[in-house]
Structures are given as structure tokens and as C-alpha cells.
Amino acid sequence: MNSIHLKDAEQVPINIAAHKLFASERTEVIHLCFKPGEELAKHPNPFDVIFYVLEGSGTLEVGEESANLGANTLIEIPADEMRGWTNTGSEDLRVLVIKVL
């Protein structure tokens, strides 16, 4: 059995708190933590992504659409779709990202 604690996970070099919890040939799991008002600009990825909101609330923009999402919500985004997050709440927004490579 292999385990990793968030505080020990490799940091991802982006403008918010992001840690890589798991990586394999076909999958990556990233933990994102947005402080109130922080955002991750819209960008595409060449792989499918699953977001699971652990805590807080925020706006996810996908293409021309946007949705306000809160805790215990899962959403799948297909490869090459522009997507970006903004923490619109007053508490941290924590999101688990599962990249299907």
C-alpha cells in the first residue's frame, strides 16, 4: 500500500496552491486550493479532466458556458475544451482534479 499526504505532495508550478497527489502513465490526481478571489485562467488540455469539488464554491467556465459549483459536485470536461476556475466564495475552494491521459 502506498499513501501520500497533501503536505508531502509535489507542488505544481501554477499561480495557486496545487499539489500532485498521484501520477501514472494514464492518470494524474491534482489537489487545487483557491483562496477567495483567486482564479486559474481558461486554458485547454489535450486530455479529459474530471473535477470533484471537495469544499467551498466557485465558478467553472467551460467554453462559453459557466456554472457555479459547490462541495460534493463532480463534472467531466472533454479534452481540448477551454476551462478555468474562479473562487467566488468567502472560503477556500478545494478541488480534486483527475486527468485521464
How far apart CA 14 and CA 30 sit, in angstroms, is 12
How far apart CA 60 and CA 81 sit, in angstroms, is 12
Confidence of residue 82 (pLDDT cuts 50, 70, 90): very high
Structure-block grid coordinates of residue 77: 470536461
Over range 77-100, report the average pLDDT: 97
Residue 92 sits in a domain whose CATH number is 2.60.120.10
In a domain, 11, yes or no: no
Residues 19, 8 contacting (CB under 8 angstroms): no
State the chain's mean pLDDT as an integer.
97
* pLDDT one-digit tens code per residue, 54-79: 999 999 999 999 999 999 999 999 99
In a domain, 38, yes or no: yes
Of the candidates 69, 72, 73, 101, the one whose C-alpha atom is nearest the C-alpha of residue 86 is 69
User: Residue 41's domain spans which residues?
Assistant: 20-100
In a domain, 44, yes or no: yes
Number of structural domains (the chain) is 1
How far apart CA 73 and CA 46 sit, in angstroms, is 23
Residue 88: the pLDDT is: 96
Predicted TM-score of the model (pTM): 0.95
In a domain, 12, yes or no: no
In a domain, 8, yes or no: no
Using the Cα atoms of residue 35, residue 79, residue 30 and residue 67 in order, give the sign of their dihedral.
positive
The count of other CB atoms within 10 Å of the CB of residue 76 is 10
